[in-house]
Structure 1
Amino acid sequence: MRLHPSSLHGSLKDPVLGSIGFLNEVMSRFPEAISFAPGAPHPDTLEDVDVQRYVEGFLDHLVREGRTPEQARRLLLEYGPSRGIVNGIVSDALRRDHGIDAAPGALVITVGAQEAMLLVLRALFRPAQGVLAVANPCFVGIIGAARLLDIDVTPVHESAHGIDLDGLEETCRTAREKGRPLRALYVAPDFSNPGGARMSLHCRRRLLDLANREDFLVVEDNAYGFTATTGSELPSLKALDTRQRVVHIGTFAKVAFPGARVGYVIADQQVTSSSGTKLLADEVAALKSMVTVNTSPLCQAVIGGMLLEHGGSLVELSRRKSEIYQRNLTCLVDALDRYVGDALRPDIRWNRPQGGFFVRVHLPVPADSALLQISAGKYGVLWTPMEQFYLDKAGDHQLRLSCSYLDVKDIEEGVRRLAAFFADEIVSPHRGRTM
């Protein structure tokens, strides 16, 4: 039997689904190039991971809680509940470190943050009803999840200070007039991927007030908040949420390690019907039972053991990793200042985020796949075109640099190569054309 693409789901034609594969293909063809493309954790953060020790620590914890050693062992080898088995440990850590007071029953442990996004969107959106707003630019994972579920997505401009709240309010008004009101907003308030934006405390409070006034939910992604420098931390939207407007999504991919594939969602909103009241988390868990059944108990045990070994603290678990990413980000921005600097401005400019993994560079020409091929083949340096992160093609003159995966010496050499690439292939030809 032969199938025609037109007979398959439309999302399979969406460029978003092929964006990661494209970058992997380019990286495989230029293995010697220094790559600023992957937003992956630094290899040094994986060196001291001892899976067996963490599992044993979690088993000891289960025994201390009252299970027999055999019951604890079987808990890790059987399917387990869809909601998860480390909810209490995660709940305690969030309360202690981040001021998020969510009961274990309001959490669902997911297969990474990506599954959490898919499940939350599936729970919140009925067919052809409601709109999802996203920051523009936006993480491709949420856009891809929305495409898979046939959810309408509308962009709202994001500046260095976070999502444009005036623009969001106008989006709410327009959507309401069209009979398709805004159902939810996806936002990453701390060092968003790929924009690097961070919302001020004032803007966070204003966003929550707007969500309450316009009656939409905020889906908060908190993957990079841990990279804030000590003393500059801001409360998450969920920590400020007194009206249950925020569905909070977290991941252990960065603070622990990505191979565990463990994330979580806090969904403490009440769902009331004639048959009673339950939490949105109950509905998310029910959906999960039809998708992945449960998150691997063994993987959960590893994460639970890591947290327990660090005193049940997310801050302590992520402290060394945060220092590495702060060092790398500082190195990247400083290297851009030194190697690119005033000589290539104003044709080349970049933002200066205070945390996260990413820096955005603006070019006077399109940062497309053809330009990337030249950069990789002739200059030995890779980056990510920003166009894929925008819903309106606004980022076609931008590229993203990720500093998370590289050592300092590679960041230095990579920026030196970038500077040569910018000078030879972009600035000189561009200035020549305008004279």
Structure 2
Amino acid sequence: MAGRSLETASPAGARPDPFPAGHRPVPAATVPAPTSRVLHKADLHASLRDPVLDTMTFLNEVTLRYPEAISFAPGRPYDGFFDTEQIFTHLRRYLDHLVAQGATAEEIRTAMYQYGPTAGQIREIIADSLRVDEGIDVPAESIVVTVGAQEAMLLLVRALVSGPDDVLFVVSPCYVGITGAARLLDVAVTPVEEGADGFDCADLEAAILRERARGRRPRACYVVPDHSNPSGTTMDLPTRTALLDLAERHGILLVEDSPYRMVSPGRPLPTLKSLDRSRTVVHVGSFAKTVFPGARVGFAVADQQVVDETGRTGLLADELAKIKSMVTVNTSSLSQAAVAGTLLAAGGRISALNAEPARYYGDAMRTTLRGLDARLPAARREALGVRWNEPTGGFFLTVQVPFRADNAALTRSAQEFGVIWTPMNYFYPQGGGDRALRLSTSYLTTADIEEGTARLAGFVEEMSAGS
């Protein structure tokens, strides 16, 4: 028995017991069958029951179910402007830039392979681009590079709304990304609806005064001044200056989201941020439409000063970076490198880089408007009660119809007429838009648009007759 512990000793001729005392397995016949854990949706966050979060899922399902249908639903760039090999060219250009800046091979390797700075590693390049292309002159440290503009919205809502009495205004109809981010964070938004002629500052001022009278604290207003998603409207210059004055007088911030400026024909109006003289505007940017969507790179320009309880000052960008560190840690270094290489190649001028796409998208919008007008001429659409706006750029326009343009109507449109669109009621935070639909013109060829508008006109005729 020498050399063998008491725990492993066995009687002579017996095989050792492989299981420690008290750990012998229960015979299979006596083991209860495993049961699946069931979670009740009522026990999950309330936002998961919000129809807004089902929007994209439903549209994707309709598109997959009717692959032969022509879809005016996706607000995405046209694939024809992308070349896979360009990705490697852009990466190499950025790496060469780092070498030219004096970075060592080890530093470049770390920059590409390791976690990067939370606030981003291409902030100087973005700042240079904003300066030469948009007239936005801000220090690089006021920029936070985000995972698309969507993360920037989430960070801003979380930072700016600190309690139930804080108010976030949105110009309605509005992009579902801002309302979705707010819903996930249990922040209620207060819509300020556009009129037939677009946004009116008097409506926002009235909403601010109403909320203050209720004892609440207006904090910020989210706006898309250029070719907005979903309505396609553009804010004129007098309205922009009046809005800046209003925000300054009432002490609120403007969250400016403007992803369609550089993919629209013609000279754009100045951004709110370039007109801002009192750090009233937080500018949200995205390279999804201008460089490529798959990079998922956006940014926020947040140069507002933040003072802590000791009197020490910093930037709002620093606070956003703190939140980001607990959300995505940092934005992909490879994605940042590809975007930076693209900007460097164009000398920071995204406007020059997107000159051809802007012409294409402008032609697509005009082709869509001509197609609608040819198939539903003025006299006919007046008799039916149909009308649409005529954006000069961007990806979207809105069609008002005399029938309920909901998911059931969309399904019928796809199934019987072979054309897909987006119900406008998705974009109204507190209801509305039930008799309107959004058309996206960016992703289709001219032939698809011409056929698609013919199909859409047939659908509208059929539905209007029965309304």
TM-score (norm 1): 0.96
Partner in structure 1 of residue 300 of structure 2: 265
Give the alignment partner of residue 292 of structure 1, picking from 320, 323, 328: 328
The farther-off stretch of 64-73 and 171-180 is: 64-73
Cα distance in structure 1, aligned partners of 2:263 and 2:305: 32
Query: Which structure 2 residue ranges, 5 or more long, are not aligned?
Result: 1-36
Which amino acid counterpart does residue 440 of structure 2 have in structure 1?
Answer: S
Identify the range of structure 1 (94-103 vs 159-168) with the bigger mean alpha-carbon deviation: 159-168
The letter of the residue matching 2:245 is D
Give the counterpart letter for 1:285 in structure 2: A
SS in 2 for 1:345: helix
- The 1:96–1:79 alpha-carbon spacing in structure 2 relative to 1, beyond 3 Å, is same
Residue in structure 2 matching 1:383, options 388, 408, 421: 421
Post-superposition offset of 1:344: 2.9
**In the alignment, which residue of structure 1 is the partner of 2:283?**
248
Deviation (angstroms), 1:354: 1.2
Q: Is the 8 A contact 1:139 1:193 kept in 2?
A: yes
Contact 1:127 1:150 in 2 (8 A): no
| Alignment root-mean-square deviation, CA | 1.2
Cα deviation code 1:43-85 (max 9, x no counterpart)? 1121365111111100110111110133213211110100111
Give 1:336 deviation, angstroms: 0.8
The corresponding residue for 1:433 is none
How has the CA–CA distance of structure 1 residues 374 and 227 changed in structure 2, closer, same or farther, with 3 Å as cutoff? same
Where do residues 265-284 of structure 1 align in structure 2 (5 Å cutoff)? 265-273=300-308, 274=310, 276-284=312-320
Aligned pair partner of 1:132 in 142, 165, 168: 168
2:263 and 2:328 map into 1 onto residues whose CA distance is 30
Higher radius of gyration, 1 or 2: 2
Alpha-carbon distance in 2 for matches of 1:279, 1:203: 28
Greater shift in the superposed pair: 51-60 or 307-316: 307-316
Distance 1:49 1:194 in 2: 33
TM normalised by structure 2 equals 0.90
Whether contact under 8 Å (1:132, 1:184) holds in the other structure is: yes
Which residue in 2 is equivalent to 1:429?
466
Q: Which amino acid aligns with 2:173?
A: P
Measure, in 1, the Cα distance between the counterparts of 2:198 and 2:403: 25
What secondary structure does 2:377 align onto? helix
Alpha-carbon distance between aligned partners in 2 of 1:5 and 1:419, rounded to the nearest angstrom? 40
1:360 to 398, 417, 425: 398
* Residue-by-residue CA offset, 1:95-126 (whole Å, 9 max, x unaligned): 10110011110000000000000001111111
Q: How far apart, in 1, do the equivalents of 2:196 and 2:344 lie?
A: 36
Aligned mates of 2:205, 2:64 — CA distance in 1: 44
Q: 1:317 aligns with which of 353, 359, 384?
A: 353
Tell me by how many angstroms 1:313 deviates: 1.4
Q: Distance in 2 between matches of 1:331 and 1:160?
A: 23
1:372 to 2:407 alignment: no
Deviation at 1:160, TM superposition (A): 5.7
State the shift of 1:429 in Å: 2.5
Letter in 1 for 2:464: V
Q: Is the 8 A contact 1:159 1:197 kept in 2?
A: no
2:61 alignment counterpart: 25
Provide the residue aligned with 1:61 in structure 2.
97
Q: Is the 8 A contact 1:160 1:198 kept in 2?
A: no
CA–CA separation in structure 2 for the residues paired with 1:25 and 1:254: 24
Q: 1:160 to 1:59 in 2, by over 3 A?
A: farther
Q: Distance in 2 between matches of 1:428 and 1:144?
A: 36
Deviation at 1:127? 2.6
Q: Which of 138, 146, 165 is 2:201 aligned to?
A: 165
Query: How many residues were matched structurally?
Result: 428
Asked if structure 1 preserves the Cα contact closer than 8 Å seen for 2:403 and 2:464, the reply is: no
Residues of 2 paired with 1:23 and 1:179: CA distance? 40
Does the aligned pair in 1 maintain the 2:129–2:347 contact within 8 Å? no
Residue-by-residue CA offset, 1:153-201 (whole Å, 9 max, x unaligned)? 1111113654221111110001001111211100000010001111111
